[in-house]
Structure 1
Amino acid sequence: MIKFDFQAVELPLARPFAISRGVRTAVTVVRVTLTDGEIIAMGECTPTAHYQESAESVCEQLESIRAQVESGLTREALQQALPMGSARNALDCAMWRLDAAKQGKSVWQLLDMQAPESVITAETLSLDTLENMANAAADAVSRGAKLLKIKLNREQIIEKVAAIRHAAPQVTLVIDANEAWLGLDLDSLFQALHEFNIAMIEQPLPAGNDKDLVRCLHPIPVCADESCHQRADIAGLRDRYEMINIKLDKCGGLTEALAMATEAKALGLRLMVGCMLGSSLAMEAALPVAVQAERVDLDGPIWLAEDYQPALRYQQGEVWL
């Protein structure tokens, strides 16, 4: 019989993290532990209030299927037992690790995939004043960053991007608006940003209110984040996005994330893999999808005051396994 435990854990941040919707100084994650004899397997999720989740609601979902899990619920059955979201993610990832360990394999081997030595990941520039964001970009460049993700709202968009590009002339830049650009002249804005060699713009308009993307020109690829949660969403996004951002916490785990990657590629959409704030335990689970993606943003642990051990290593703009 499998022993099933879970707990909420608050992780203080090393510095404030700001996006268009607010500022955080700590993040609460939920960690799942599955024990089968001598084998212990864990998973981690980050409940997101924007998606009507909390640590309490995630723990309630997990408690609701305790008996099924302890009686041997399979990964396949889990996809119907819980809806997409953080609770299913933590349990799904723990199940992948448990299944692999029971066979004496890694998750990579279970998937018949070769684990890379490292993956280039974005380093996020938290929303701040123009001067502070430019300084943060310069600091990231000094540490070897190769890809910077710029968090923006509606204020000083061009000015901030210009300052960051000046501070990081050779680095790949992507922008994340977190749904903040509703009502702006997107044609003019996209054209102006194109001059700074921006590689991608993520979720400029609110989910469910992104039809204007159909009509405007896309000199820069646009990526769906909040508009794309699961496989069923993908086909309806092709007329307005060139890319989708797969996050395990949104879709409900590695099982659905792998299926989303397959579906997106079949439909001609490019891939990004992202994350919520969280520890290396959560980021490591996403790597089998990340190796299939054009852009990777798995820098959650670098914002933490203290990471989960054993931790992934972040160095020279890459995450090292």
Structure 2
Amino acid sequence: MVAHHQNGLTLTLDVQKFPYRKPFRISGHVFTETSVLVAQLSDGEHTGRGEGAGVYYLGDDIDHMVAEAQQAKTAVEACRNREELQQVLPPGGARNAIDCAFWDLEAKQQGQPAWKLAGLGSLKPLPSALTLGADDPAVMAEAALALNPDAPIKVKLTGEVELDKARLKAIRAARETAWIGVDANQGYSADSLRELVPALLENRIALLEQPLRRGAEGDLDGFKRPLPFVADESALSLVDTASLVGRYDIVNIKLDKCGGLTEGLAIARQARQLGLGVMVGNMMGTSLSMAPSYVLGQFCDVVDLDGPTFLARDRDPGVTYADGLIHCPRGIWGW
């Protein structure tokens, strides 16, 4: 059942900045802060909140999100439900913020938590990967040792084959038994990837995320995948999902890419039908971004919701990380 709003809604938009504890480096980018768009939807009695961090590599930055949301404000306020919202805005950070505000509002209107509205019988803590930004191999190995010993580890690579191999070797030596996945953020070509694969196997890497640039998916046709390949930048929204079959094994769903929890759940359903594994990730953001992703994470095989761990400060209440698990307390969103 989807709530219908008789008297129209009021949409309020707010820009908030969250600096990082230290610069975070991935292939092609260094991040020092996250600017988020916070959307509030009120029916006069209840107010729902949602947050969007956008998609940096699509030009979906804070200015773009704000402009898109403001342009659609009247149409959004006339929406009777979040299904109608999908027609008003395209996938991206602005729709994510507003879609999640719809979910939060609906939870309050119906007196039911968002996870129940999403069809879940219960909510459980999830093992969430903690990410190591790309750095000198020795620095990354030291950082790996500082992580919770139970936490899965995600390692950022840069496409520099020999340096990436040294990084993997150093991190695996430091953390002999840890679950380790790697994320190349489009840094490789098919040829350089062939050079990297043996090192992935040698260091018992669990999965490889987005090795090639978006648009080069065809280069994976016939490419032997001895470990699961995960599509991230190659899988933005629902329309991309079917094309992944035969090239990728898992789809990384991020609410900022697909434009909210509504489409995120639809991608998870379609991926399962296509025989693909499902992962939930994040484009950074605060605990207000993680809470809806945590609901999606209940349906996923791999969870990577560590955005708040990079921030100098998070929201209060916020998600917590303990014993390799992310816990999402009720006060944040969707109750």
Structure 2: distance between partners of 1:17 and 1:7: 25
Match of 1:243 among 250, 264, 267: 250
Partners of 2:14 and 2:38 within 8 A in 1? yes
Query: How many Å apart are 1:186 and its aligned residue?
Result: 2.5
Match of 1:191 among 173, 186, 198: 198
Does structure 1 residue 131 correspond to structure 2 residue 138?
A: yes
Relative to the length of structure 1, the TM-score reads 0.96
SS in 2 for 1:84: coil
Partners of 1:186 and 1:216 within 8 A in 2? no
Query: How many Å apart are 1:310 and its aligned residue?
Result: 1.7
Structure 2: distance between partners of 1:174 and 1:115: 28
Aligned counterparts, 1:296-307, within 5 A = 296-307=303-314
Aligned counterparts, 1:1-321, within 5 A = 1-140=8-147, 143-155=148-160, 156-182=163-189, 184-321=191-328
SS in 1 for 2:290: helix
Partners of 1:272 and 1:296 within 8 A in 2? yes
CA pair 195-166 structure 1, distance change in 2 beyond 3 A: same
Partners of 2:206 and 2:227 within 8 A in 1? yes
**Matched residue type, 1:186:** L
Q: Which moved more, 1:6-15 or 1:107-116?
A: 107-116
Q: Which moved more, 1:179-188 or 1:204-213?
A: 179-188
Structure 1: distance between partners of 2:40 and 2:318: 17
Relative to the length of structure 2, the TM-score reads 0.92
Query: How many Å apart are 1:38 and its aligned residue?
Result: 3.4
Partners of 2:190 and 2:219 within 8 A in 1? no
The CA deviation string for residues 82-132 of structure 1, in whole angstroms up to 9 with x for no partner, is: 001111111000001101110111101222313333110000001111111
Structure 2: distance between partners of 1:117 and 1:200: 24
Partners of 2:149 and 2:178 within 8 A in 1? no
Structure 2: distance between partners of 1:236 and 1:186: 21
Query: How many Å apart are 1:294 and its aligned residue?
Result: 1.1
Query: How many Å apart are 1:188 and its aligned residue?
Result: 3.7
Partners of 2:115 and 2:123 within 8 A in 1? no
Structure 1: distance between partners of 2:306 and 2:258: 19
**Matched residue type, 2:17:** E
Query: How many Å apart are 1:277 and its aligned residue?
Result: 1.0
Structure 1: distance between partners of 2:321 and 2:304: 12
**Matched residue type, 1:50:** Y
Partners of 2:16 and 2:35 within 8 A in 1? yes
Query: How many Å apart are 1:241 and its aligned residue?
Result: 0.5
CA pair 128-78 structure 1, distance change in 2 beyond 3 A: same
Instruction: Tell me the percent identity.
Output: 38
Query: How many Å apart are 1:35 and its aligned residue?
Result: 1.9
**Matched residue type, 1:168:** R
Partners of 1:13 and 1:305 within 8 A in 2? yes
Partners of 1:123 and 1:145 within 8 A in 2? no
**Matched residue type, 1:294:** D
Q: Which moved more, 1:122-131 or 1:50-59?
A: 50-59
Q: Which moved more, 1:281-290 or 1:186-195?
A: 186-195
The CA deviation string for residues 12-41 of structure 1, in whole angstroms up to 9 with x for no partner, is: 111211101111111111111112233221
Partners of 1:5 and 1:33 within 8 A in 2? yes
Query: How many Å apart are 1:265 and its aligned residue?
Result: 0.3
The CA deviation string for residues 172-219 of structure 1, in whole angstroms up to 9 with x for no partner, is: 000000000125333342123111111100000001113222232111
Correspondence for 2:5: none
Query: How many Å apart are 1:58 and its aligned residue?
Result: 0.8
Partners of 2:55 and 2:257 within 8 A in 1? no
**For structure 1, which runs of at least 5 residues remain unmatched after alignment?**
none
Query: How many Å apart are 1:63 and its aligned residue?
Result: 1.1
Partners of 1:20 and 1:151 within 8 A in 2? yes
Partners of 1:191 and 1:219 within 8 A in 2? no
Query: How many Å apart are 1:65 and its aligned residue?
Result: 2.0
How many residues align? The count is: 319
Structure 2: distance between partners of 1:184 and 1:131: 27
Structure 1: distance between partners of 2:75 and 2:196: 51
SS in 2 for 1:184: helix
Q: Which moved more, 1:150-159 or 1:296-305?
A: 150-159
RMSD value, Cα? 1.3
